[in-house]
Structure formats: structure tokens, C-alpha cells
Structure 1
Amino acid sequence: MPVFTRLRQQPDTSPEVEPESPAPQQEARATLRTRFADWRERHPVPVRVVRWTITILAAVLVLGALVLPNKESALHAERFVRIPVEAVLGAAVALVLPRRPRIIVAVVSGAALGALTILNLLDMGFWEYLGRHFNLVLDWELLPDAQSYVQDSMGRAVAIGATVGAFVLVFLLLSVMALAMVRLSNLLARNKQAATRGTLAAAVVWVLCSALGLQLGGTPLASDRAAGAVVLQAKGVRQTLKDEADFQKIAKVDEFGNTPPSQLVPDLRGKDMIFTFIESYGRSAIEDPVEAPGVDATLDARTKALAKAGFHAKSGWLTSATYGGSSWLGHSTTMSGLWIDNQNRYRTVMASDHLSLTKAFAKTGDWDTVGIMPGVQKGWPESKFYGLQSYRNAFQMGYKGPKFSWSTMPDQYALQAFQNLEHGKKRSKPLMSLVILTSSHQPWAPIPKMVPWNDLGDGSVFNAIHAAGKKPADIIASSPKSQAEYGKSVQYSVTALTQWLERYGNDNTVLVFLGDHQPIARVSGNHASRDVPISIVAKDPKVLDKISSWGWTDGLRPAHNAPVWQMSAFRDKFLTAYGSTPHPKKN
């Protein structure tokens, strides 16, 4: 007999194997479930209270999200006592769906409502800081800039905390909103008859409120806020995509695109040209009752001081393409003659050969061209568009002093570095300079103070001023304090620039300076214009005679009724006033 047959016939003498016992973790979970069930049976009242509390919180969360406005100024109690039609429709859908599809729809719609809430919160921030809603296509790339701003202004720890907090908030909104929708849909399904009657009653009330136009505190009781927000976002996406294609064609059309070099700004030959932007220098600085007294007094005093030194000025208003931030949009709009109000347009024009105002001087071959960029802390390929042969960034000016909040160095130091490194050099050609000043950048704490020009050195003189200054946390949440400090920062920047001109300007110096945009709404107000002041300063009377037809105000302070142009109009008006001949470049 084969061996395996003999073995098979032997009696099984192996010990009996005991069945495996549950893993310790499973036993622990089972024990906890048993204890929790026992506790619920022994304490029915607290259990019901907890359940209804969670249900009520879920309802409040969902209903609040459905009527949440997208502007901080609209956060009023009456906005949250309306009847959202989306809730009525959602209840009707939950009542007719079987369990599995109902749960799926609840999770998806809850996550979608969480996403809409995130967009509303982003809108609040953008309206507060940039005076516009969040662009779903273009503005995601601005969020790292916001993180960098917080780090530069408030410190690395605050920036990390804010970033982590933002991610946690996003996760919670998406997940908790989905769980809340599931809980409410389950409640409706368990109480179908009562829920059906309640849903029908709510629908009738909503229709009546809508038809009769009933309001509470000026706010309609019948709400379709969430649906309207979705439609608005969809329209924004379509408009953004269409705008991208349209602007590419617009950017190819240039009134001076084919003008020969000899016919560009012939009336400014031999002049040292300086184009300067002052950060957040807006109309509010000159006309707001809080900021204006100090700023206007400074402008008037500096006008007199310049006149004593032989300089005279004319000033007007430009309407900026941006508000509260994104300064580069204001810079590029002024210099390109194109309306650049979003990041996509900015990228398009920077990659084009459109003639910028500063590049017009470079194109003639009769000027050296440089940039002074204390706010640039990384590569800056835009210098090519601006026609700059070279530029100095924040790390190329020898500054060894402290940062003043976001600003890497005080304006006075940046201007002295400009003098030492570029303007004061002996050259065979006049100089065209693009200078971006940053000391008036929010949050306006601490603010540098003027020091004797001969004491500037490497900037260490500012250490004591920085230590004695206010902290961003001292003013950032207070509108009156922010307004007061903003006004002081503008006074400082204007004083530094005009003192530099007194000290180093000559008969052939021409200074054009302007604001890039208005300050944020916390400072300029919710209904402020987008206007910024602009001034042209020169010793040679012929320079200002060329713009006598513009109707601008004499001095550094433009009159309230001085002409207001779109910022994009300035390039062509300036080129024309100083003798440039149009030779259009067409699409």
C-alpha cells in the first residue's frame, strides 16, 4: 500500500485547535459599544438633548451657509432669517430618494455647500483688501502672495499658524457640512409625513414672500442667495475665459507700436526722467477727513519747498485698474496704456512686445534705463517689458537695517541708494528710471521716520526707529488706527521723495510720481473711488507748458475737480504731449 494511503488511515492524534479569540482591540470596541448602549438606556433625556442639539446645529450650519453673503459689510442679522429656496428644494429631493441615493446626494451637496462657503469667505477677504470678488480661475495663485504678506508683516509663526488654520477650516467646512446634510436628510426620511407637510408649507411661504416682495430691514425674506452665487461664479468663469482671448487681440494693437525711435518723446531729449510709484497713495489720502489734514499739509509744504528750489508741479487724477493691492496691475496699466485689471491680462502683456512708456525711452537709444525695486525679492523677468537695461532689487542696495513690516527698507534709504548706485554716476546719456517705493504698504506699522541724509549709511540708523515703532498687531484690526498710520506713511513717502528731488535734482530732472492704487477698504471706506493722484515735477518751464492743456492743478495736491482719466489713458497722452508721432501697430 502506498505510504500516503497508510498515513491517511492513521488515527488523528493531533491536539484539538481552540477557536481563535477576538483581538484585544475588537474586544475593547465591543465593550465600549455595550457600555455606551447601556448608558443611553439609563440616561434617555441627555441622549435626546445631545441628539437634538446636534441636529439643530446642523440645521443652523446649513441654513446659515445658504444665506451667507460674500461681503463683510453685509453680515447683518436680518440676512440670516430669510427662507432659502435651496433648502426647500433640497428637502423635497431628500423625501423622494431611496436611502442610498439620498445619502450620496446629501454628501455631495453638503461638500458643494462647504465649497461655496469657502468661496464666500474668499470673496469677503478680496472685497476687503482688493475691492472685488474672488476670481475662481485666476486668483488661486495670489494666495501664496497673501501668505508671504502675512509672514513679512506679522512674522513667520503667525503666517504658519494662519496657513494651518486655513487648511483646517477648509477641511472642517467640507466634511462637517457633508455630515450635517446627511443628518438632516436622515431626519426627514424618518419623519416623512411631517417633513412633507413642512416642506410644502415652506414652499408656499417662499412663493408668497417672493411674489409680494416681503422684506425685513430692506432684505427680501425669500432668498436664492446660494443659487445666485453659483450662477455668478459660472458667469465669472465664462467671462474670464472670454476676456483672455479678447485681450490677446487688444494687446496686439498699439498706437505707437511702429513709431520710429527718433519720433518718440523728442521734447524730452536730454532730460533725466524718473517715473515713481508710491505704494497705496490714493485719493483718500488727500480727501478723507481722517487722513487728509496731515497729507494735505505735507503736500502744500513740499510744494513750497520745491518751488523755493526752483521746481514746479502740476497734478491730476487717474483711475487705477486695481484697488487695495496687486500693485503690479497699476504699474503695468500706467506704463502699457492697456487696462490690466487681472492676473491673466498681466501675464499676457508681460509676454508681449507692446510698447511700455519706459521702453519708449529705451527704444530711442538716447537714455540709459534702470529700475529701483526694493519690493522685489526674487527674479523679475518683467524688467524686459519695461525696457530696463538693469534693475536693483531688495538685496542689491546694501541695506543692513530692519524691515519695516512688509517693506524691505525705508523709502529714504532706497532713494539714497538710487542716488549712490545709479543717478549720481557720470554718464554719457541721460537716465530714465523706474522707482517703486514701498514704505506706505499696509499694514502701516512700524513706519520709518526721516533721518539726516548724511546719516543713512547702511541703514542701521533705522534700528532704533523700528524698535520704537508700532507693531502691526497694534493697528491692523482697528480702522481708525489704520487710517491714522496710513496717512503718516504717505506723508513719509512724499517727504522722502521730494526731499531727494530738492537734494539731487537739477535743471534737467523731470519727476513723474503717482499712486498705484487706493488703500484697502478698512482705510478708504467701502464706497471709495479707485482714483489716485499723479504729479509731474520739473524745473524747466517748457516741460510743464507741454501739458498746460490737460487742466491739471498747480502744485502737488490735485484739486477735487481736476480731470480724472483712466490710468490706461496716461501713456498715450504723455507720449503725445511730448512730441511722439503715432505709428499704429495693428492686430
Structure 2
Amino acid sequence: MAGSESASGGVKRGFKARIAYWRSWRSRHPRVAQAVWWTVTALSLALVLTALLMPNRIGALHSNRFTRLPGEAILGAAMLLALRRRPRMVVAALGGVLLGALTVLNLLDMGFVEYLGRDFNLVLDWGLLDDAQSYVADSMGGATAVAAAVGLVLLIGLLFAVMALATIRVSNLMMRDPQRATRATLLAATVWVTCSVVGLQNAGVPVASYRTADALVNKARQVRQTLKDEAAFGKEARTDAFGATPADQLVPDLRGKDVIFTFIESYGRSAIEDPVMAPGVDQTLATSTEALTKAGFHAKSGWLTSATFGGSSWLGHSSTLSGLWVDNQQRYRTVMASDHLSLTKAFQKTGAWDTVGIMPGVQKGWPEQEYYGLDTVYNAFKLGYQGPKFSWSTMPDQYALEAFQRLEHGRTDRTKPLMSEIILTSSHQPWAPIPKMVGWDDLGDGSIFDGIQKAGKKASDVIADSAESKVEYGKSIEYSVTALTQWMERYGTDDTVLVFLGDHQPITRVSGNNASRDVPISIVAKDPKVLDKIASWNWTDGLKPAKNAPVWKMNLFRDRFLTAYGSTPHPSNG
């Protein structure tokens, strides 16, 4: 006990000694100490004002955004001036933490807009941060992902601490001369009201700012809307136009056909229309259309508006196949737990098809298999691949398609036709390194890709470079389309029906700030009756949809497809 008291006393004496040393240093070097004090104070003021005025869009980070007068600062100053010392310190520290949290939310909004085309959702999106770390680990390595996560946590903690110290320092500055601070606050309030009334602007931006209050109101509104949407969407998911359709009345016009639904990662409208990517992609589509035609196949193409942008591919998959607009994680969970009929499960329900999923991007348990009605699913570890990963993509699309042929499509012992869902991943960001086509007979276990992967570009050289990302993204789409259409030429039969589409547009850095959410969709078949069934859709002949081809929301595809191929609606109201 005595030893503990002695140690405690030693700590106190050491702390007092350091304070005494600092005070003596200030007295010995008054000018330097004063310069340090004013510098730290100015930085504190700048930090607080920056947090209050920071926009939540990268494109809005201009100087005129930070030369405004924040009304929240005036209200905060008035509150602090009215408080006694202890509550004032507490309120100042809490205000600093709040500004730190707001800064983090602004940065999250910037990142989400850049990658997913929308703001960060306070209710739904925390789980996506874990997915983001997994993406970094798959693309850049586990050590990089761990270092980035630890560094990010430390930076956020430091931001909160520094912001709290900054607001405390500003409050202490005001209390050095409360009367002058009160007059300055009243003057600032008068100026703010005047600027607001007359609508004074600086380069098109109002001088009188209430950015922080507006941001908090918007986030609160977003939370309320999200919670309200959960209940409304749950009711919507229980209603299904084809939910009670008997098995023998589902897709009767496709009986005997091998039907393949294929999603190409990030295959968006920008790939076909952007001046950087379009020349190569359009040439690939033209060449592939010609090659398919020579092999006896024909195609029609249109546009779908995706429920997601830049990422969260599963939202695009589920919107297309469920017939519901699944644009957030809560809706996705609701659909996956529902009995709402998916397009793929409709084939299973008939009992006339074997159903298979080829999922090279799945590397863990995938309970969604039941919702999609897939009898068998081949994940990344069940396709026999022994070659290298290509950044996030576990294997080249060409190999995944050849494995599909070997394991399922090419089987001669099958007694039923096959319905397949295939997810192709080679065009997944960061688009480096990109596989190259090899001889189909040379694929083997995938080891042939070792040299191609080593010779390819590094993800770190592409991921942050917009111009380079555009070029490499275009090449990745060319590769994926080529692999798929060559597979169709090589293995497609008179009874093969291929439906392929993109799940979403690429991220903003590639597609642009004002890009649509449209993705191409094509149906390819040799039997002319298959395409005759969709003649009324007015889609474009070939693999490239015309600029003015019809555009539907993704969730409309299921019902239109089922109807076109003879399905009879029998609504259910779960």
C-alpha cells in the first residue's frame, strides 16, 4: 500500500515538474511561446470551421465552400459564452466529437458516391465496410487490408481527439475576453442574417451557411425513411404476380431448352458509349455478333436500369431475378428470406430443369442458393482451378466457362435440360491484372494463366488513376464478352438460350459523375422462335443495343420474361 502511494506521488510530482518546466520555458522564450500559442489557436479555428463547412462531395471541394460564414459556429459561440467553466468545457468537447463524427460521415459520403453513386446510409451500410476490407484484402493482399483498417481506426480516434481539443481551445480563447467575444458573436450574427436575407453569394455559393445543420437534418430524414421503407417493402415482397402459378404454367415455351442467365461484372452503358472505352468494346461486340451469326445464332439487345451503381452486385442480381427493386441491404435481406419467386427458381419449380449456379466469386457459405432455386452451386473452390488470382477475381472467365462446360453443360448423362446462373468476375475492379484469351483446349487446371498474371499490370498502378482505370476497364469488358461469346460459338446448341447482362455501371472514376445506371442486356439463341417471342420488346438486333433502344428498370425484367415465354400469372398475397 505504501509503495502504491509512493508511486502515485511520484507521478504527480513528475507531472507538476513538467508543467513548471513548460512555464519556465515560456518565460524564457516569450515571443516563441506566443507564436506557438497563436499558431495552435489559428489551426484550431481553421479545423473547426473546416469541419462545419466541409461538403460531402469530392466535386464540391472548392475554396468558395470554405469562405462562408457558418451559422452553427455563431450559435455554438453564444451557447458557450452563456455557460460556466465546467459545463462549457464539457459542451465544447462534445461539440468537437460531434464535428469529428460529422467529418467522418462526410468522408464516407464522398467514398460511397464515388464507388456506389449514393450517400452512406447510417442504418444499413455499416456491414459494407467489412466488405470493403475484404475487397482490399482480395485485391491488394491481407497485410495491406489489416494495415489500412488499423490505420483508419487510429486516424478516426485521432480526429475525434484533435477536434475536441480544438473546440476547447476556441472556447478558452473566447473566455479570455468575454465582452469582446460577445460583441463579435452579435456582429457575426448580424452579418449572417443580412447575407441570408439579401442572398449574398460567393461564386454561386451562399455566404450564409447552415451546412452542418442541413447535413444532420438530411441524415435524420434518411434514417426515418429507411425504417419506414423496411415495413413497406416487406409488404411489397409478400405480393407476387406469379407466386401461385402452377408448375406446368411456368415458362412452357422454353421447355427443352438449356437456359443460361449470365451477369458480367460492371458491364455498364459507359462501356459502350464512353469515348475512351467504347471503340474497343463496340468492336468486340460487332466481331462477336458476326461470329455468332456465322455459327447460326442471333441476338437482340436492350437496356436495363440497375438498382445499384459501382458495386454491391448482389443488388443488381436480385433485382433482375426477383422482380423487386432491391436497392439496399435491408431489402436484399428481406427478399432472400421471402417466398417471392425468383426467375431462376421458376425453372426449378417446374421440375423440368436441373438448376446450377457457377459462382467463382463466392468463397464462403452462400445461403442465397435456396432463394435462387439452384440444385447445385460451384463456388471458387469447386471449379478445379489451380491458377493464380487476378486481383479480386478468383479465376479468369474463360476458365469458369470451360469448367461449367466440363462439369455440367457438357454432361451426356443428363435426363433434363439445364438452367444455369453464371457470375463472371474478370471485369471486377480494380481491373488489373486482366486475363487474356488462351486456346480452349489448353486451359487445363488454369496454371497456363501464371505467366499472364505475372506479366499483367499491378492493381496499385491502376486503382487510383482515372485515365488508366478507364482503359483497363474497357479491356476487361472486351475480355469477358469475348470469353462468353466464344464459349457460345464453341458449345452452344440448337437448344441453348443465353441471357447476359451487366449488374451495374463501373465506379464514378470510370463512368463519370453524371453517368446513368443503365446496363446492356442481350438474349442469344439459335432457334428463331425464342427471339420471336420478344419481338414486341423492340430490342436492337445484335449484341450492341442502340442508343435509343428501350430502357426498363431491372425489376421489370422477371415478369416480362416470364410472360413472353408463356407463363400465366397467378398472384399470391403471402
Q: TM-score, with normalisation over the residues of structure 2? A: 0.98
Would the alpha carbon gap of residues 388 and 21 (structure 1) be closer, same or farther in structure 2, given more than 3 Å must change?
closer
Q: Does 1:534 align with 2:521?
A: yes
**Residue-pair matches, total:** 569
Query: What SS does structure 2 have at the residue aligned with 1:569?
Result: helix
**Counterparts of residues 307-386 of structure 1 (less than 5 Å):** 307-386=293-372
Q: Which residue of 1 aligns with 2:20?
A: 34
Which among 446, 453, 464 is matched to residue 451 of structure 2?
Answer: 464
Q: Which residue of 1 aligns with 2:566?
A: 579
Letter in 1 for 2:396: P
Q: Which residue of 1 aligns with 2:553?
A: 566
Whole-angstrom CA distance in 1 between matches of 2:13 and 2:186: 48
**Counterparts of residues 465-504 of structure 1 (less than 5 Å):** 465-504=452-491
Q: Which residue of 1 aligns with 2:510?
A: 523
Letter in 2 for 1:219: V
Which among 381, 399, 409 is matched to residue 395 of structure 2?
Answer: 409
Q: Which residue of 2 aligns with 1:4?
A: none
Whole-angstrom CA distance in 2 between matches of 1:31 and 1:190: 26
Would the alpha carbon gap of residues 54 and 428 (structure 1) be closer, same or farther in structure 2, given more than 3 Å must change?
same
Q: Which residue of 2 aligns with 1:420?
A: 406
Q: Does 1:506 align with 2:496?
A: no
Whole-angstrom CA distance in 2 between matches of 1:257 and 1:357: 11
Deviation at 1:25? 4.4
Whole-angstrom CA distance in 2 between matches of 1:527 and 1:67: 24
Deviation at 1:90? 0.4
Q: Which residue of 2 aligns with 1:271?
A: 257
Whole-angstrom CA distance in 1 between matches of 2:6 and 2:289: 94
Query: What SS does structure 2 have at the residue aligned with 1:374?
Result: coil
My pick for the range that moved more, 173-182 or 263-272, is: 173-182
My pick for the range that moved more, 148-157 or 393-402, is: 148-157
Residue ranges of structure 1 left out of the alignment (5+ in a row): 1-18
Letter in 1 for 2:442: D
Deviation at 1:100? 1.2
Q: Which residue of 2 aligns with 1:293?
A: 279
Q: Residue by residue, what CA displacement relative to the aligned partner does 1:260-313 show, whole Å, maximum 9, x if unpaired? A: 000000000000000000000000000001100000000000000000000100
Which among 123, 139, 158 is matched to residue 144 of structure 2?
Answer: 158
Q: Which residue of 2 aligns with 1:124?
A: 110
Deviation at 1:387? 0.4
Whole-angstrom CA distance in 2 between matches of 1:99 and 1:431: 76
Query: What SS does structure 2 have at the residue aligned with 1:384?
Result: helix
Q: Does 1:397 align with 2:376?
A: no
Query: What SS does structure 1 have at the residue aligned with 2:261?
Result: strand
Q: Which residue of 2 aligns with 1:141?
A: 127
Letter in 1 for 2:93: V
Q: Does 1:551 align with 2:503?
A: no
Which among 201, 217, 232 is matched to residue 231 of structure 1?
Answer: 217
Letter in 2 for 1:98: R
Q: Which residue of 2 aligns with 1:109?
A: 95
Which among 229, 248, 265 is matched to residue 262 of structure 1?
Answer: 248
Would the alpha carbon gap of residues 72 and 21 (structure 1) be closer, same or farther in structure 2, given more than 3 Å must change?
closer
Deviation at 1:174? 1.4
Query: What SS does structure 1 have at the residue aligned with 2:239?
Result: coil
Deviation at 1:236? 0.5
Whole-angstrom CA distance in 2 between matches of 1:358 and 1:274: 10
Deviation at 1:23? 5.2
Query: What SS does structure 1 have at the residue aligned with 2:326?
Result: coil
Whole-angstrom CA distance in 2 between matches of 1:33 and 1:107: 22
Deviation at 1:216? 1.2
Which among 155, 170, 180 is matched to residue 169 of structure 1?
Answer: 155
Q: Which residue of 1 aligns with 2:442?
A: 455
Whole-angstrom CA distance in 2 between matches of 1:141 and 1:354: 24
Whole-angstrom CA distance in 2 between matches of 1:73 and 1:175: 28
Deviation at 1:21? 11
Q: Which residue of 2 aligns with 1:59?
A: 45
Whole-angstrom CA distance in 2 between matches of 1:538 and 1:579: 17
Query: What SS does structure 2 have at the residue aligned with 1:394?
Result: coil
Whole-angstrom CA distance in 1 between matches of 2:120 and 2:296: 47
Percent identity, aligned pairs only, is: 70
**Counterparts of residues 246-261 of structure 1 (less than 5 Å):** 246-261=232-247
Whole-angstrom CA distance in 2 between matches of 1:289 and 1:21: 72
Whole-angstrom CA distance in 1 between matches of 2:8 and 2:355: 80
Whole-angstrom CA distance in 1 between matches of 2:196 and 2:9: 61
Query: What SS does structure 1 have at the residue aligned with 2:127?
Result: helix
My pick for the range that moved more, 110-119 or 515-524, is: 110-119
Q: Residue by residue, what CA displacement relative to the aligned partner does 1:477-513 show, whole Å, maximum 9, x if unpaired? A: 1111100000000000000000001011000000000
Q: Residue by residue, what CA displacement relative to the aligned partner does 1:173-217 show, whole Å, maximum 9, x if unpaired? A: 211111111111111112111111111111111111111111111
Q: Does 1:220 align with 2:206?
A: yes
Q: Which residue of 2 aligns with 1:183?
A: 169
Would the alpha carbon gap of residues 22 and 441 (structure 1) be closer, same or farther in structure 2, given more than 3 Å must change?
closer
Query: What SS does structure 2 have at the residue aligned with 1:532?
Result: strand
Deviation at 1:28? 3.8
Query: What SS does structure 2 have at the residue aligned with 1:513?
Result: strand
Whole-angstrom CA distance in 2 between matches of 1:532 and 1:22: 68
Query: What SS does structure 1 have at the residue aligned with 2:216?
Result: helix
Query: What SS does structure 2 have at the residue aligned with 1:128?
Result: helix
Q: Which residue of 2 aligns with 1:48?
A: 34
Letter in 2 for 1:433: S
Q: TM-score, with normalisation over the residues of structure 1? A: 0.96
Would the alpha carbon gap of residues 165 and 311 (structure 1) be closer, same or farther in structure 2, given more than 3 Å must change?
same
Whole-angstrom CA distance in 2 between matches of 1:494 and 1:184: 59
Whole-angstrom CA distance in 2 between matches of 1:517 and 1:21: 63
Q: Larger Rg: 1 or 2? A: 1
